[in-house]
Structure 1
Amino acid sequence: MGRWRYTLGFVALSVALLVVLYKGFGRDPHEVPFMLKGKPAPAFALRALDSGERVSLADLKGRPVVINFWASWCGPCQMEHPVLDWGAREFGSKAVFLGVVFEDTEDNARGFLQRHGASFPQLMDPRSRMAVDYGVAGVPETYFIDPSGIIRGKHVGPIDPQTLALRIRELTGEAPAAPAEATR
């Protein structure tokens, strides 16, 4: 009787593990469901790190907005920074790019930007109020807001150039580029 109990327990545990694995396969680990998707982006008004000017979401209405939360102490943020810098230069005429310094000091953020460059405004989020409003769990996280102020997506972790370009095309309503056909 005891041997059957262990066998049934092992079978039940194996089935449960297979169900968990099955549900996880085929999903993009960077596509994190969150409650703000399809909802108006939370309003903010923050000070730009370089100029001290106030930047608000209300002032950006009518333009797509890409918001990246980052920190100087974040290794993945350092890897991602060149992609966002490229994206701001490549797509800056189509979308507004903003960086938001997350739980870091102004001095550390300035040092990071002096070493790595900054082609788009960086905002200070004192006491992480904006991060809380957006539901930031860690950095880097990138949010995509359409011209009407609706959050259309969120990318968790370092973003790659292809994903960034695709998200910008989705925000601007541009058709994705057709794949190049092979020549013979």
Structure 2
Amino acid sequence: MIARLLALVAATLALAACSPTAEPSQPPTSAPADLASLRVEYGLPDCPVTDPATLQVADGLPQTQLTCLGSDAVVNLAGLERKPTVVNLWAQWCGPCREESPYLRAGLAELDGVAFVGVNYNDPRPEWAIEFAGLVGWRYPHVIDADKSLQVPLRVPGLPTTYFVDADGRIVGVHAGPFESTEQLLTMADDYLGVR
């Protein structure tokens, strides 16, 4: 009887640990110097320089200051260069984010003139995030939103979520959930941004 009860408790704990809605724990983070060297090691580019005073345009990305993943540079999302942009919210602990990773990498290679920006969202392990982004080949800038400051202004439904931002800085499309193919990403970029 006790063996059955212990087995039931162990099974329940195992299932709870795999729950996709579980919030990640908050372990100690690496020192900034360690993160900077990791970013270089995994080939992640510098984040763009933005003006912190740039205001949000109507229907645009919020005037939110986020730190670059693996550096101390601060990026104002509202101040990103005015060009077609794909903004993808992800976390290294997110299974669907891992599933869509090759499609984002391929989309970056296919979409000339389109900027990509990753937002490492609600992720307590920036060192693992850098390693993940590097290993899957996401050679574009990433910022950190560990405290979910974009939750309200972007109405983030969950991870992954991708925002299509036009050359005027307006969010013209949102895709909640993972991309299922490169073609799906390319079609949405064409539909929302007019690029292929």
In 1, Cα distance between equivalents of 2:146 and 2:140: 19
Q: CA deviation at 1:153?
A: 0.8
Task: Determine which structure has greater relative contact order: mean sequence separation of CA pairs < 8 Å that are 6+ residues apart, divided by chain length.
Answer: 1
Q: Is 1:67–1:142's contact at 8 Å kept on the other side of the alignment?
A: yes
Equivalences, count? 137
Distance 1:89 1:72 in 2: 22
**Equivalent position of 2:168 in the other structure:** 148
Gaps of 5+ in 1: 1-37, 177-184
2:162 is paired with a residue whose SS is strand
Report how far residue 141 of structure 1 moved. 0.6
Name the counterpart of 2:89: 69
For 2:162 and 2:175, locate their aligned partners in 1 and report how far apart those are by CA, in whole Å.
5
Structure 2 distance, partners of 1:72, 1:89, is 22
- How far is the alpha carbon of 1:51 from its aligned partner? 4.1
The alpha-carbon deviation at position 39 of structure 1 amounts to 2.2
Q: How does 1:104-123 map to 2 (within 5 A)?
A: 104=123, 105-123=125-143
3-state secondary structure, aligned to 2:175: strand
Counterparts of residues 25-36 of structure 1 (less than 5 Å): none
TM alignment of 1:8-19, pairs within 5 A: none
Q: Judging changes above 3 Å, is the alpha-carbon distance between structure 1 residues 59 and 115 closer, same or farther for their aligned structure 2 residues?
A: same
Pair 1:96 & 2:115 matched:
yes
What CA distance in whole angstroms lies between the structure 2 residues aligned with 1:165 and 1:124?
Answer: 25
Distance 2:110 2:160 in 1: 20
Q: Equivalents in 2 of 1:156, 1:165: separation in Å?
A: 16
Residue 100 of structure 2 corresponds to 80
Partner of 2:191 in structure 1? 170
Do the aligned partners of residues 150 and 122 (structure 1) sit closer, same or farther apart at CA in structure 2, a change above 3 Å counting?
A: same
Query: Letter of the aligned partner of 1:166 in structure 2?
Result: T
After superposition, the CA RMSD in angstroms is 2.1
Contact 2:173 2:192 in 1 (8 A): no
1:131 equivalent in structure 2: 151
The Cα shift of 1:112 comes to 1.6
CA offset digits 1:85-132 (Å, max 9, x no partner): 1111221x3211011111112122123224323211111113110233
Sequence identity, in percent? 35
Following the alignment from structure 1 to structure 2, what is the Cα–Cα distance between the partners of residues 124 and 112?
14
For normalisation by structure 2, the TM-score amounts to 0.62
Using the alignment, how far apart are the partners of 1:70 and 1:79 within structure 2? 11
* Letter of the 2:117 counterpart: L
**CA shift in 2, pair 1:72/1:61, >3 Å:** same
- CA–CA separation in structure 2 for the residues paired with 1:58 and 1:39: 11
* Bigger fraction of residues in helix: 1
Change (3 A) 1:44 1:95: farther
